[in-house]
Amino acid sequence: MEFKKRILVTGGAGFIGSHMVRLLVNTYSDYLVINFDKLTYAGNLENLKDIENKSNYVFFQGDVSSEKDVNEVFKTHQISDVIHLAAESHVDRSIESPMEFVQTNVLGTVNLLQHAKNFWEDKGKHVFHHVSTDEVYGSLGNTGLFTEKTPYDPRSPYSSSKASSDHFVMAFYHTYGLSIKMSNCSNNYGSHHFPEKLIPLMIHNICNNKDLPVYGKGDNIRDWLWVEDHARAINEIFHHGRVGQSYNVGGLNEWTNLDLVEYLCDLMDKKLNRNIGASRKLIRFVKDRAGHDQRYAIDASKLKEELNWSPSVTFEEGLEKTVDWYLNNEEWINQVTSGDYQKYYSKHYNNR
């Protein structure tokens, strides 16, 4: 079959990437979706079991920072567009080993940009969409929101590597005329989220009656968005966003970590038929994260005004769907926590 587009989705076996791949494969039967993923600890093909046999889906195992792998996938599949999500994504791991973040997030992005630039003759016909984070803007005080004009001020090794990759993406637009689009999204939550990040970690620990480690006083604020709404936003920007522009993505949904964990505890108590208040007893305040950003909050009005995007679910609805998914997919949890997870967990949390 002659496909209209042949889209390379990097990091498609990860949390957000798998939702992106699923949305594209199920919505556009005339696109071929090539999921390019190294399958690190965070990548899992189980995330895509429901679509793996579709005729418009292909998996290619490779490393975004490898010239050989990227060259091979561009040639083999005649890539027409890129949606780039592959990254090392966990702030705590970036504090422990920053070089992996430079390798994948910075060098990997530049490697992809180079191949796209060299491979695509008519640059106006091909889109390179780079998926980034609001963390590049740094940390907010009690008031204000991040807009697309907020100066970059990354504080963690993770956000610094993402900020660096964003700058290279913009440089390839200005210098070489690559048709880039970029999105900077707030914290995502939803199904298939690896249980090292706050929400899935808390759900997993509540299920197992394990301590719930809240960093510092639990007063840091994050702005949460349901992952499927993020995938919808990327889809809109990829198809209809302006070239050379970045778009902030977020749902005006700020929570302190402690309020969120307590809400989750009560929701889980209901779902597990425990006495309300039982799970809250598991909360433990532990040593704070080094350089912990105080508050993130996104102004997504550009995306709403230009592309008419807004979240499709409330936080309460999204969180309930998420909890239900984890409770019904114990096998997935067992599988992703079977490798080095316990080792990571003990190293990171014991004696904290």
Decide if residue 220 touches ligand TYD (CB under 6 A).
Answer: yes
Strands (E), the chain: 5-10, 31-37, 57-61, 81-84, 128-133, 180-185, 187-189, 212-215, 221-226, 246-249, 254-256, 283-286
Nearer to ligand TYD, 123 or 295 (CB): 295
Nearer to ligand NAD, 123 or 192 (CB): 192
| Token code pair at residue 7 | 């889209």
Question: Cβ of residue 97: shortest distance to ligand NAD, in angstroms?
Answer: 13
Active site residue 100: no
Active site residue 330: no
β-bridge pairing 254-256 and 221-226: antiparallel
Total binding residues toward ligand TYD, as defined by CB under 6 A = 12
* Long-range contact pairs involving 28-31 (C-beta distance under 8 Å, separation at least 24): 28/4, 28/56, 29/56, 30/3, 30/4, 30/5, 30/56, 31/3, 31/4, 31/5, 31/6, 31/7, 31/56
| Token code pair at residue 213 | 């480690």
The candidate with the shortest Cα–Cα distance to 119, out of 178, 173, 39, is: 178
Q: Which of 185, 201, 260, 303 binds ligand NAD (CB under 6 A)?
A: 185
| Site mask for ligand NAD (CB under 6 A), range 36-55, x = bound | -xxxx-xx------------
Decide if residue 222 touches ligand TYD (CB under 6 A).
Answer: yes
Decide if residue 255 touches ligand TYD (CB under 6 A).
Answer: no
Q: Are 14 and 37 in contact (CB under 8 A)?
A: yes
Q: Which of 31, 57, 137, 158 is catalytic?
A: 158
Decide if residue 160 touches ligand TYD (CB under 6 A).
Answer: no
Alpha helices in 177-241 (DSSP H): 198-207, 227-240
| Token code pair at residue 107 | 């060098």
Decide if residue 63 touches ligand NAD (CB under 6 A).
Answer: yes
Decide if residue 201 touches ligand TYD (CB under 6 A).
Answer: yes
Q: Which of 135, 166, 196, 299 is catalytic?
A: 135
Active site residue 134: yes
Q: Which of 134, 229, 236, 293 is catalytic?
A: 134
Question: Cβ of residue 75: shortest distance to ligand TYD, in angstroms?
Answer: 35
Decide if residue 213 touches ligand TYD (CB under 6 A).
Answer: yes
Q: Are 310 and 304 in contact (CB under 8 A)?
A: yes
As a whole number of Å, the end-to-end CA separation of the chain is 56
Nearer to ligand TYD, 215 or 325 (CB): 215
CB count in 10 Å sphere of residue 208: 10
Decide if residue 47 touches ligand TYD (CB under 6 A).
Answer: no
Q: Which of 7, 85, 264, 298 binds ligand NAD (CB under 6 A)?
A: 85
Residue 235 backbone dihedrals phi, psi, to 5 degrees: -60, -45
Q: Which of 57, 146, 173, 194 binds ligand NAD (CB under 6 A)?
A: 194
Q: For the segment 234-263, give every residue that binds ligand NAD (CB under 6 A).
A: none
| Token code pair at residue 334 | 């067992």
Nearer to ligand TYD, 24 or 261 (CB): 261
Question: In sequence order, what DSSP letters do the residues of 109-174 get, joined into one string?
Answer: HHHHHHHHHHH-SSGGG--EEEEEEGGGG----SS--B-TTSPP---SHHHHHHHHHHHHHHHHHH
The site for ligand NAD (CB under 6 A) is made up of 10-11, 13-17, 37-40, 42-43, 63-65, 85-89, 104, 108, 131-133, 162, 185, 187-188, 194
Residues with a catalytic annotation lie at: 134-135, 158
The site for ligand TYD (CB under 6 A) is made up of 91, 187, 197-198, 201, 213-215, 220, 222, 257, 289
